[in-house]
Amino acid sequence: MRPFEYVSPSSSAQAVSLLGTAWGNTEILAGGTDLLALMKDDVVAPKRLINIKEIKDLRGVSLSAQGLRIGALTTLGDLADDARVKKNYPALAEALIEAASPQIRNLATLGGNLCQRPRCWYFRNGHGLLAKDGSTSRVREGDNRYHAIFNTDGDALFVSASALAPALTALRATLVAEGPKGKTRKISAGVFLAAPKSETERETVLKPNEVLTSISIPISGLKSATYEVRHRHGLDWPYVTASVAFAEKNGVASDARVVLGHVAATQITAAAAMKVLDGARIDEATAARCADAAVQGAKPLSRNAYKVQLVKAAVKRAVLAAHNA
């Protein structure tokens, strides 16, 4: 690990003031479960590490008439144990339980999960975020079994590693970021992740001098569920994830959301699948039609076409799980 400057601000405003205007020179340390590994492997080498663990305002969960507010530093373990999450947001509760091991959940933070770097083995082995050799894509020409099957015309062929982004998107969550001079901005969970176009960009819409401070989820009464397909039942990275949410009255769905994870550099909102659910009676046949519609637009790479069928299975099972809850 290379030498670096270490600072520990006591407020988000102080943290913002210590950040730079370009990515790479400074990094934010929250739970550290991903960042420290990247530094040890010399994938990233920040000159300054900003520890935000002492900022108390970034922790905790509160419930109001508007919904649930979660501090970005709240650990996945604390969130998974929260009775309000289990009761009101089953899709998020299931995603939390599936995220990593209990030991990691006790350290990893909600904000860190949303901002974590890709698990792409080309990136993790020092070949860059877009894994290009000149004009040649190592991913496109090489082993891409676990890479994107949507939005594959561009160079960002890794998949987002966030276990929670699909559920938060399905539940209409809003993220708050604080920038210079105390200015804050609200960001829809559905547009928070981004596909970088160059090595100087990141995988979210956050600016280099912004800190993610909180996440809010409205109380909508929607039924919801998350279903992951993974190689092993225990700790493993999923092949695909599906999170769904919809209102249901007399067995008929409305206001549906179907969101896919681990299939692109961002989560994918499956608009065609949502149209199938809206106004339909939820049963096996409807769930199957929704699953078929969810893969519209998929363009697998040379070695990952199997993911298309996994998406169908995940969507169908998530729809039925939400209906039967």
Model pLDDT for residues 151-179, shown as the tens digit of each residue:
999 999 999 999 999 999 999 999 999 99
Q: How confident is the model at residue 209 (pLDDT cuts 50, 70, 90)?
A: very high
Which CATH number covers residue 61? 3.30.465.10
Yes or no: say if 302 and 139 are a contact pair by the CB < 8 Å rule.
Answer: no
Q: Print the SS3 string covering 172-199.
A: CCEEEEECHHHCEEEEEHHHHECCCCCC
Mean pLDDT of 288-311: 98
Among residues 179, 315, 154, 141, which one has the least CA distance to residue 240? 315
List, edge to edge, every strand of the sheet that includes 184-188.
Answer: 61-64, 67-71, 211-218, 174-178, 184-188
**How far is it, in rounded angstroms, from Cα 188 to Cα 176?**
9
Q: pLDDT digit string (tens) for 3-44?
A: 999 999 999 999 999 999 999 999 999 999 999 999 999 999
* Global confidence as pTM: 0.97
For residue 321, pLDDT over 80 is answered with yes
Q: Helix 284-294 vs helix 306-324: angle between axes, to the nearest 10 degrees? A: 140
Q: How confident is the model at residue 234 (pLDDT cuts 50, 70, 90)?
A: low
Torsion of CA 192, 193, 195, 201, to 10 degrees: 80
Write down the H helix ranges in 116-251: 121-124, 138-141, 165-170, 189-192
Q: Which residue range forms the structural domain that includes residue 248? A: 1-325
Predicted local confidence at residue 102, as pLDDT: 86
pLDDT at 232 over 80: no
H or E element that contains 132: strand 132-133
Number of domains comprising the chain: 1
Cβ count within 10 A of residue 231: 10
Residue 123 binned pLDDT confidence (cut-offs 50, 70, 90): very high
Assign 247 to helix, strand or coil.
Answer: strand
